[in-house]
């Protein structure tokens, strides 16, 4: 796996920039559900880019309606080696002003109604999430942001809330007291599932507003968020270009590439064939691309 195939999850306008060659849309079916949209594949130099509009083109999906399992599975099936997530967030810090960008290194997950794992009864696995993002990709993202000329904070903690409503003032102040820096609705369980799929993952956030913890600020409103997003789409596109161009060739191995080797607890004798079949892409490397992975003996 020496070639970079970079999956980018974000807004539907991110892929509309010069220099992206051979664009085409493909439909990828997933046994986990319906991905948010088709995948747009193109080339930026010798890096293959695979874009997935997280909310679907036209922003038809609310955060809680996004099928993150189907999205990650589809990107894995499309051959992605690594994932870059671009997401909008509210700021919980005075020095993180609207218009800035930030790279994430930790999450607090407060989502409630979203499937958070590919694994379950009949194939139990426990993947470590102590360090939920890929340090190599995150360092590339920080460098790319500065090369793109954006003001960027490095290594923030992201509070993932269920939504679709914005925070109450009491919630916003509580998140600040926990040491969180930004609040959003989409990075979880996306980051968890990327790790289960052995896909190194980095998250770059665009700060669109101050969350409502500030007494002097008005409540959060969609119009102001959209205005900041429109003003910063060019900067986000430049960041993606710089990110792709900064990737060291050839792609060296990452520990995340093989993180499933020691996490499966269920004995092969009790593996559920129907679940194992759905895991054919997520666990392809571990199953060694066997047509009948549940017939294989676990070597642990």
| C-alpha span between 292 and 63 (Å, rounded) | 35
Q: Residue 217's pLDDT is what?
A: 67
At residue 215, the pLDDT reads: 80
Pairing of strands 82-91, 21-26: unpaired
**47 domain-assigned:** yes
What's the mean pLDDT in 180-206? 98
Q: Average of pLDDT values for 174-193?
A: 98
- Domain range holding 29? 5-271
Q: Evaluate whether residue 285 is within a structural domain.
A: no
The span from the CA of 230 to the CA of 239, in Å, is 15
The whole-number average pLDDT for the span 229-251 is: 94
Is the pLDDT score of 226 beyond 80? yes
CB atoms within 10 A of CB 122: 14
Confidence of residue 219 (pLDDT cuts 50, 70, 90): confident
Six token digits for residue 13: 């306008």
The pLDDT of residue 220 is: 80
pLDDT reading at 165 higher than 50:
yes
**Whether 150 contacts 235, CB under 8 Å:** yes
- Quickly list DSSP for 2-33: -S-EEEEEE-TTTT-STT-EEEEEE---BTTB
Q: What is the mean pLDDT of residues 46-57?
A: 97
Specify the 3-state DSSP secondary structure of 273: helix
In a domain, 195, yes or no: yes
User: Out of 37, 109, 181, 209, which one is annotated catalytic?
Assistant: 209
Q: How confident is the model at residue 13 (pLDDT cuts 50, 70, 90)?
A: confident
Identify whether 204 is part of a domain. yes
Catalytic residue, from 95, 154, 211, 261: name it.
Answer: 211
Distances (CA, A) of 102 to 30, 128, 139, 242, 279: 31, 24, 12, 15, 33
How far apart are the C-alpha atoms of 82 and 167, rounded to whole Å? Answer: 31
The reply to whether 173 falls in a domain is yes
pLDDT for 221 equals 81
> Average pLDDT of 245-249?
95
Residue carrying structure tokens 């999205």: 71
Q: Give CA torsion, residues 125, 129, 132, 136, to 10 deg.
A: -80
Count of domains for the chain: 1
Residue 280, domain member (yes or no): no
Whether residue 290 is predicted with pLDDT greater than 80 in this model: the reply is: no
For residue 300, the model assigns a pLDDT of: 32
Residue 289 domain flag: no
% residues pLDDT > 70 (the chain): 95
Q: Tens of pLDDT along 21-47?
A: 999 999 999 999 999 999 999 999 999
| Phi, psi values for residue 124, rounded to 5° | -90, 130
Q: Is residue 114 part of a domain?
A: yes
User: Is 211 an active-site residue?
Assistant: yes
- Residue 109 designated active-site: no
Q: Can you tell me which residue has the tokens 């010798």?
A: 46
Give the CATH number of the domain where residue 43 resides. 3.40.50.1580
Q: What is the C-alpha separation between 186 and 38, in angstroms, rounded?
A: 18
């Amino acid at each position: 796996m020496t070639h970079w195939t970079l999956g980018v999850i974000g807004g539907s306008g991110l892929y509309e920039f010069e220099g992206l060659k051979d664009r085409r849309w493909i439909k990828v079916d997933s046994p986990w559900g319906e991905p948010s949209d088709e995948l747009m594949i193109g080339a930026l130099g010798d890096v293959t880019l695979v874009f997935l509009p997280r909310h679907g083109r036209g922003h038809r999906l609310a955060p809680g309606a996004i099928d993150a399992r189907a999205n990650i599975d589809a990107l894995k099936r499309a051959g992605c080696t690594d994932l870059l997530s671009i997401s909008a967030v509210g700021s919980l810090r005075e020095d993180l002003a609207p218009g800035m960008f930030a790279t994430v290194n930790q999450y607090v997950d407060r989502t409630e109604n979203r499937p958070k794992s590919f694994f379950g009864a009949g194939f139990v696995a426990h993947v470590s999430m102590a360090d939920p993002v890929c340090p190599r990709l995150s360092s590339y993202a920080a460098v790319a942001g500065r090369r793109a000329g954006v003001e960027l904070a490095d290594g923030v903690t992201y509070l993932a809330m269920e939504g679709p409503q914005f925070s109450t003032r009491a919630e916003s102040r509580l998140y600040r007291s926990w040491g969180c820096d930004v609040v959003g609705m989409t990075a979880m369980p996306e980051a968890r599932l990327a790790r289960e799929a052995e896909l190194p993952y980095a998250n770059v956030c665009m700060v669109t507003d101050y969350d409502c913890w500030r007494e002097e600020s008005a409540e959060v409103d969609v119009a102001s968020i959209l205005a900041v997003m429109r003003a910063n789409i060019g900067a986000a596109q430049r960041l993606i270009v710089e990110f792709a161009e900064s990737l060291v060739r050839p792609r060296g191995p990452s520990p995340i590439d093989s993180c499933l080797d020691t996490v499966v607890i269920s004995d092969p004798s009790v593996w559920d064939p129907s679940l194992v079949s759905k895991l054919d892409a997520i666990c392809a490397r571990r199953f060694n691309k066997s047509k009948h992975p549940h017939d294989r003996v676990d070597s642990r």
